[in-house]
Amino acid sequence: MFLSGCFSFIVMLATTCLAQSVKPAYSTSAVVHTEIRNVFYHYTDRIAVHIFWLDGVIRPVRSGQIPIFDDARSFFVAIRSAEIAIASKALSQTLNEHVFAAPDAPLKNIEVSTEGQKLKVKGKLHAKNNLLFETVSTLSVTGDGKIRIHPEKVRAEHLPVKGLMDLLGVEIAKLIDTRKVVGLTAEGNDLILDPEQILPLPRIEGKVSAVQIRGDQVIQIFGRLPAANDRGKVNSMSYRGGQLRFGKLTMNDSDMDLIDLDPEDPFDFYLDHYRQQLAAGYTKITPQFGLRVYMRDYNKLSPRPRH
């Protein structure tokens, strides 16, 4: 009995030591952490945003699979904190091409501009025989992290109608049917814009904590931003941990940086054409087998790729 007990103890001790000596080949983290600094990110030829800072994680759209960098349908970006700007022209394009893209969408031919801290929107009210309209609105954040557009002035065919609407008890929600619209709902006289849905793929997930107008850009703040001197100075897109497929390479415990060859201006990046940007730069491998990819700005490629 004594010998049997000693033998069992020795086997248990050896098994424990062996288990402690064998380390996993890669991180068991299920997500890929990402940081983006000063990147002009193209969704399409005409829709892009300026990401001053983003901290978040990359998650696969389908459970049990891994994100594929080349395929914007395979992943989404869950934002912890970010500062993202979209110019009025790009916002016009995403409203026309994505939000109100359906043939029977209530608004058409939208043009967005800024007027101080106000947002001006022109277009056609499709449901009312393409009636021309113009609104001047303030922006604020809703309790659930969306953007509230509150019109202070409304004109139709160059005639002021806001006062008449108030007098008759007519609300914008009754004039605009948003059931066939992506990322926009009407609430009384306000329009509620959902940042998680208004842009093309890859999808983002996050709640806006503040919104402001800066020049001709709408600035969206997500979460709490770090101090400017804590954000780093290199124009880059970094990926750490988890599994990520990049081209023909599948990384375990991902360690990859995409770095701007020209740090004097924002990193101009276009996912649909990143291979051309990659081919115009060079790659380094760190002693820890990390990947550092130095890429040419999309707007500096010669010749520019065609769709």
Annotated domain spans of the chain: 89-194
Q: Which two tokens stand for residue 229?
A: 């001197």
Q: What integer pLDDT is reported at residue 288 of this predicted model?
A: 93
Q: Write out the two tokens for 182.
A: 């992506």
Which letter does DSSP use for residue 95 in this model? Answer: I
Collapse the DSSP code of 191 into the 3-class scheme (helix H, G, I; strand E, B; otherwise coil) and give the result: strand
Residue holding tokens 């402001």? 212
292 DSSP β-pair partners: 257, 284
- Residue 139 β-bridge partners: 149
**DSSP state letter for 304:** P
pLDDT, one tens digit per residue, over 11-63 is: 333 333 333 333 333 344 568 999 999 999 999 999 999 999 999 999 999 98
Please list the ranges in the chain whose pLDDT falls under 50: 1-28, 164, 167-169
Scored b (16 or more CB within 10 A) or e, 249-270 reads: eebebbbbbbbbeeeeebbbbb
Give ∠ CA 194-43-120 in degrees, rounded to 5: 50
Q: ∠ CA 258-261-265 to the nearest 5 degrees?
A: 100
CB-CB contact of 1 with 21 (8 Å): no
pLDDT at 30: 67
pLDDT recorded at residue 28: 41
Q: Tens digits of per-residue pLDDT, 286-304?
A: 999 999 999 999 999 987 7
Amino acid at 208: V
pLDDT value, residue 179: 78
Q: How many CB atoms lie within 10 A of CB 73?
A: 11
Give the CB-side neighbour count of residue 200, counting CA atoms within 13 A.
22
pTM for this model (two decimals)? 0.85
